[in-house]
Every structure is written in C-alpha cells, then in structure tokens.
Structure 1
Amino acid sequence: MKSVFQMIATLACAVALTACGAAANTEKPVVLDPNTQVKEFLFPDLVKGTGTAAAAGDTLTVVYTGWLYDASKPDGKGAQFDAVIPPKSFTFVLGIGKMILGWDRGLVGMQEGGTRRLLIPYDLGYGVGGTRDSTGAVVIPPYAGLVFDITLRKVEKK
C-alpha cells in the first residue's frame, strides 16, 4: 500500500511540475521585421578626414543625424529620430561606455574633418528595450537597427 501511495504521489508531483513549467512559459517569441534589421555593423567613411584620428579616451566634438534603419529606404534611412547640426555640436568621451557600443566602436580611427556613416545592429544600439522620451513615448523601438551620419569636428587627446 505504501509503495502505491508513493507511486501516485510521485506521478501527481510530476504532472504538477510539468503543468507549472508550461504555464510559466507564456512569452511569445519575438518576430523581427527584416526591413528594420542591420545585418552587419558597418562604418564606412563618406568623407575621409585629414586631421587627428580618434582613439578611446579622447574627447570628440561631432555633428550628426540619426535615423531608424529601414531597408526599403535609400541608404537605409528611415524615420529621423535625432540630429545635432551646425552651429550646435555634441561632445563626449569615446570608448568609456557613455555612448552606445556602435558609436564607441565605429568612431575609433576616424579623423577630424571626416564624415562616417554608422550602420548599427540593435545589439550595438539601444538593444531589446529601445528608448523613450520624458513623456514615455517611444523614440527608438526595441530591436531597432540604426543609421548615423557623423562628422568629426574636433579630437582632444586624453
């Protein structure tokens, strides 16, 4: 009798654990639109600079425009989400983790006066979370590929 009870109890536990495992996995797989995905991280120079080359730890001053990647648009430039254009500029330290990885990796070696296009896969951009503005509106959707045209105005060596 004791062995029958143990067998029934074991079977009941197995069924309960199986049911719990199935119920816990309620996430649906993410389906990515291939038109929004940069397949390979690329950073070609559109205009080759002639000044000082940027390295990790240097302070860079740039102007740029950023777009969501859309393979159906010319140069992959979908909706524009940000821009800093002359006379304004943006200054940051390269390679210390304050910027997205695509910038920290893609601007190394760029020379002053040059313009570079960064084609950034989502994992080197804003990742699976994307970004929102101060009102909570989505600025960059989750899993978004990005395109930036960046002109390097100044390099201050560390």
Structure 2
Amino acid sequence: MLPPRFLLLLFCSAATALRVPCLSRRELLLGAGVGLPLAAPPSATAKMPLSTDEQDRLDALSKFSRDTLPSTTLPSGVVVLDLYRGSGPEPRAGDLVYAHFKVWPRNFRSGTPADSSFLDTRPHEWRLGTPDERIRAGFDEGIVGMREDGWRRLIVPASLAYGSAGLTTQRGVALVEPDEPVFVDVILVDGGSGRCAEILRPAGVSEVGARRLKSISCVRGAP
C-alpha cells in the first residue's frame, strides 16, 4: 500500500513545505525504497514556499517521468506512463473505484492544476468505464489496467478531455483552452479492496452524509 505520506507528497499544494528524496528509476517502477518523510496534514502544516532544492527535486522527478520512463500510446491517442506499479486489486469495468487526480493544461506540474481531487479532501469515486464530469473519457480509459496504489501519468487528447469547450471557472476564466490536450496525475487509492468504501460509505449513512465524509488516504488514523 502506498503510505499516506506518499499521497500527501504527490498531491499537497506547492505551498506546503515537504522534504522530497530523489527516487531512482528502479524505485519508481518497483516501488522499492520509497520511505518518504511523514508530512503533516495541510491544515497543520506551516504555509511556507518550497526551498529551491525541494523545488528542483520535484521538477527533476517530473522531467524524469516525461523524458525517461517508457510510455504506451493507446489506440485512442492517450499516452500512459507508469511511475509506480501498484500491487493491489485491478478493477474491472463497472467496479466502484476511488482515485486522486490532478490535471494540468500545459505539462505535468506546470502551474496551478485545472482540477484536483485533493481539493475535495477525499478521492474521487466513479464506476470504471463510466466517465463523469470530472473523470473524462480519456482519464477513465487511461486508468484501465492500473492496480490499487498505482501511480500513473496520462497525456490525454482534447477530444477525450474537455474538447472544443475547454474548461473554465464559474466566472469564465479559462483553465483549459478549447481543443487543448491535458496532463493528468492519477493514483488509484481503492481499486477493489474496499478500504475507501469502508471509510467514505459506511453502512447506515445516507448518500448526503457519505458525501460529507473526508479522508485523503482512506486509512484510519491517517490524513
């Protein structure tokens, strides 16, 4: 299982001070030696800018994934890069899944994300094979084949993301321009183990009540 601190490293805002170790290609692909230091929950962490060294390490990791890792291009045009191969269940079409994601319009970790599940303080849930307003068709397709706790990056053509409409704020500010491809970070938090459902959809809780429950990692006692 990816430790909660790993989720926080990947999805906390750049305003949170984290100390990030360098990861080798083998560590990224096999998940070996990823003993990352524990980060405090965002609400309890001092709001400090990343040091130059920390920013350089994150940028190097991002560049490594783009330029060095082998990628697979699906027939639809979605490009898949596996950074961390999970060891948990592999969901099938129709299964309820929970995942964290971040979407950028220009490149991985390029400025403020256009959308992020981290802002919800819980993974996004949907039925695999049934895209929704936030999990677009290309995102859903790119997640097929992942195992629980896997970390994957996707480059999604505009036609399978936000299309000719793009993505805008309620005030009309463009987050993703029309016909622009997007870059997606995704971690499959629950691919069939049921750990997110246990915490975020406990028995006896209404749909409205369940939607109010929060857990970044779906691990009891962790953020």
Give the alignment's TM-score, normalised by structure 1. 0.64
Match of 2:47 in 1: none
Residue identity (%): 27
Q: Residue 132 in 1 paired to residue 168 in 2?
A: yes
Structure 2 SS opposite 1:102 = helix
Partner of 2:9: none
Deviation at 1:84, TM superposition (A): 2.3
Pair 1:56 & 2:93 matched: yes
> Does structure 1 residue 91 correspond to structure 2 residue 128?
no
3-state SS in 1 of match to 2:102: strand
Give the SS at the match of 1:105: helix
- Segments of 4+ moved more than 6 angstroms: none
Aligned counterpart, 1:3? none
Q: Greater shift after overlay, 85-94 or 46-55?
A: 85-94
Match of 2:188 in 1: 152
Aligned-pair distance for 1:85?
2.9
Contact 2:150 2:187 in 1 (8 A): yes
Give, in angstroms, the shift of residue 77 of structure 1: 4.3
* Offset, 1:145: 1.0
Say if 1:60 and 1:93, in contact at 8 Å, map to a contact too.
yes
Letter in 2 for 1:129: A
The count of residues paired between Structure 1 and Structure 2 equals 113
2:105 maps to 68
The letter for the 2-side match of 1:103 is: F
Q: Which residue of 1 aligns with 2:196?
A: none
Greater RCO, 1 or 2 (C-alpha within 8 Å, sep 6+): 1
- Is contact 1:112-1:155 (8 Å) kept? yes
Deviation (angstroms), 1:97: 3.4
Q: Distance in 2 between matches of 1:97 and 1:83?
A: 16
The one of 74, 78, 101 equivalent to 1:41 is 78
Higher strand proportion: 1
Matches within 5 A, 1:72-83: 76-79=108-111, 80-83=113-116
Given the two structures, how large is their TM-score scaled by the length of structure 2?
Answer: 0.46
Structure 2 CA distance, aligned partners of 1:144 and 1:78? 14
Cα distance in 2 for partners of 1:107, 1:64 equals 11
Matched residues in 2 for 1:100 and 1:108: separation?
A: 13
Taking the aligned partners of 1:69 and 1:145, their CA distance within structure 2 comes to: 8
Check conservation: 1:68, 1:77, Cα contact below 8 A: no
Q: CA RMSD in A?
A: 2.1
- The answer for unaligned runs of 5 or more in structure 1 is 1-39, 71-75
Q: 1:82 & 1:150 partners in 2: Cα distance?
A: 12
- Decide which structure has the larger Cα Rg and report it: 1
